[in-house]
A = this chain, B = another copy of it.
Amino acid sequence: MSHYTAPIRDMQFVMRELAGLDEVAKLPGCEEVSPDLVDAILDEANKFASEVLAPLNRTGDQEGAKWDNGKVTTAPGWRDAYKQFTEAGWTAVACEPEFGGQGLPKLIATAVMEMWKAANMAFSLCPMLTNGAIEAITLSGTDEQKAAYLPKMVSGEWTGTMNLTEPQAGSDLAAVRTRAEPQGDGTYRIFGQKIFITYGEHDMTDNIVHLVLARLPDAPEGVKGISLFVVPKFLLNADGTPGARNDVHCVSIEHKLGIHASPTCVLAFGDNGGAIGTLVGEPNRGLEYMFIMMNEARFAVGMEGVALAERAYQHALAYAKDRIQGTEMGVRGGPKVSIIRHPDVRRMLMSMKSQTEAMRALAYVVAAANDAAHRSADAAVRAENQAFVDLMIPVVKGWSTENSIDVASTGVQVHGGMGFIEETGAAQHLRDARITTIYEGTTAIQANDLIGRKIAREGGVTVKALAAEMRGVLAQLAEQQGDAFVAIRKSLESGIAALESAVEYIVATYGKDIKAASVGSVPFLKLLGIVSGGWLMARAALVSARRLAEGSDDEFYKTKLVTARFYADHILSQAPGLSYAVVNGAAGALELDEAQF
């Protein structure tokens, strides 16, 4: 049985010392954010995550969601947990106060979200998708739509979904075929089939609000002809309560490798005359609106990477401390020891721990920048932060999720043979993590976005500014005493250089040979993640050294210093190899004809 307790100390450290919680608290609309408030929120969220959600994680995996004749029954305990979740107000954390939200900064909401995802990823997907739908209606909906849906969705009384994918159109939204026929009364009849719809049907709420991409009759081909519609499961009565059943039905749910308790639905729209929906925003701009939701969702999936890595680490750590096997290395005939004393188990745990902390640091720093980008009174500050956020969302998404698979797999390895036995629970983290590099845009799609829209299009301005900022940390590292700082500086310096030469290559190549640049896109995304993580771990080491020099005897700072050093030696040191593959790897990847494979 795997327990979960939120790593509140590290969360607090990252929020305060790396992400600038104090600065976030000074932003317009964040006046009520105080250290006490943050403490209270994190403590309450931790209680809910560890006491209510975490215990359902394994049973949810075993029981799964069940489909029968169009109805989906969630796993045992799910309905009750969801009810408690809404009653405690957790659905409203980051939402606009106008519709009942608490309007908390994204930085705080991110820490809270990490807890839900670590405690029970399959559960967390429901509020996550609802948040995406809330975001889209908030930004692009009519006043009527906002009034009809947002209060119920913010309170969690109704949930929301995102309906993009169709069987013939996975990542390629230009191929969407679902159609919407105007009825002349402001409503539309929707016809088509959507697949991979998370919580597309369930038994936890009285209504479900589907946001659906579809084409109008006169729409242009491709991505410029897609519109966004709201299609509720139950049409609304004049008083706003759920009325007649709409013509959207769950045809089946998928049998998946992981997140068994999250129903992944095939939804049929319009098999009986058409599902009634209303247009969100302007015609043919659906993809634009969906991208707004997707950016939020991509960041949230990145947090799944952080969260699953944390959960897998806690699971493996508990086992490694508990499991007695073998004697201390180099000590013949000595007493049996717990396996955490074996150097390779130690290496695996440090690898899991250091990568998880680096990913958390990056995600929270991006969340804080998102707050500044949305709330700062200074337009230049907003723009600068938005550019950083835009650059980093594909990295938070792609790098954290790719790592989470490795970290969860390492967690299985720490357990030895027991890791392969499902009852142990370690394998579930790996199975659950395996979707995170695929949905909300595969790693390749994140990487294309990164090197194209976020780097090449602006000649690498933002990423070069980031590298320059990282170089500023090198000087501070040089002022510190001790082997650890020598090691950190050495790896960070070569990591930054590796990043810079890869950026040069991408900027120089993208315009003239997009395929050659794209071969390096995923290695580049990982490179940027690794080096950014190294930069933040170095900053964390500097803060820790300062606190210790000020007389603190806090074990947390000592541990953070060692962890930062491990990261530099074992993880950041892989940066030059990735850069080499980015800069040199195109020819060998592209040369073969299809027939030669």
Contact = CB atoms under 8 A, between A and B. Distances in A.
A594 B346 CA distance: 9
A417 B562 contact: no
A570 interface: yes
Interface stretch (A114-122, A377-385, A438-446): A438-446
A53 to B, nearest CB: 22
Nearest to A427: B257
Contacts of A412: 257, 434, 438
Contacts of A172: 325-326, 336
A511 B22 CA distance: 51
A569 B588 contact: yes
A347 interface: yes
B519 A325 contact: no
Contact of A420 (B257, B487, B567, B575): B257
Interface string A332-369: 01001010111111110110010000000000000000
A175 interface: yes
Contacts of A562: 588, 591-592, 596
A587 interface: yes
B255 A421 contact: yes
Interface string A562-577: 1101111110011111
A313 to B, nearest CB: 9
Interface size class of A (residues with CB under 8 A): 35 or more
A518 B341 CA distance: 12
Contacts of A558: 596
Interface stretch (A201-209, A543-551, A578-586): A578-586
A437 B418 CA distance: 13
A590 B580 CA distance: 30
Given A417-B165, A422-B256, A439-B417, A447 B576 contact: no
A565 B594 contact: no
A503 interface: no
Given A175-B325, A255-B421, A592-B559, A585 B416 contact: no
A514 interface: yes
A325 B418 CA distance: 41
A317 B597 contact: yes
A562 B591 CA distance: 7
Nearest to A584: B569
Contact of A514 (B330, B559, B577): B330
Interface in A449-489: 483-484, 487
Nearest to A565: B588
Contacts of A563: 588
Contacts of A47: none
A137 interface: no
A592 to B, nearest CB: 5
A254 interface: yes
Contacts of A345: 444
Contacts of A405: 409
A88 interface: no
Interface in A285-318: 317
A575 B374 CA distance: 43
Nearest to A490: B584
A244 interface: no
A422 B253 CA distance: 12
A427 B438 CA distance: 13
A589 interface: yes
Nearest to A521: B344
A555 interface: yes
Contacts of A245: none
Contacts of A347: 519, 522, 585, 589
A444 B344 contact: yes
B585 A338 contact: no
A553 B417 CA distance: 49
Contacts of A587: 483-484, 487, 565, 569
B325 A515 contact: no
Contact of A569 (B522, B567, B581): B581
Interface in A60-103: none
A386 interface: no
A281 interface: no
Nearest to A331: B514
A596 B555 contact: yes
A477 to B, nearest CB: 15
Nearest to A436: B420
B570 A342 contact: no
A589 B343 contact: yes
A123 interface: no
Interface string A506-542: 0000000011101101110000000000000000000
Contact of A597 (B256, B257, B353, B422): B353
5 contacts: A255-B422, A330-B515, A342-B518, A569-B580, A569-B585
Given A257-B421, A257-B431, A343-B589, 20 more contacts: A170-B417, A254-B420, A256-B420, A257-B430, A329-B515, A409-B409, A427-B434, A484-B588, A487-B588, A565-B587, A565-B591, A569-B589, A570-B581, A570-B588, A573-B580, A574-B574, A574-B577, A574-B581, A576-B576, A576-B577
Closest 6 CB pairs of A and B: A566-B588, A344-B444, A343-B518, A565-B588, A574-B577, A257-B427
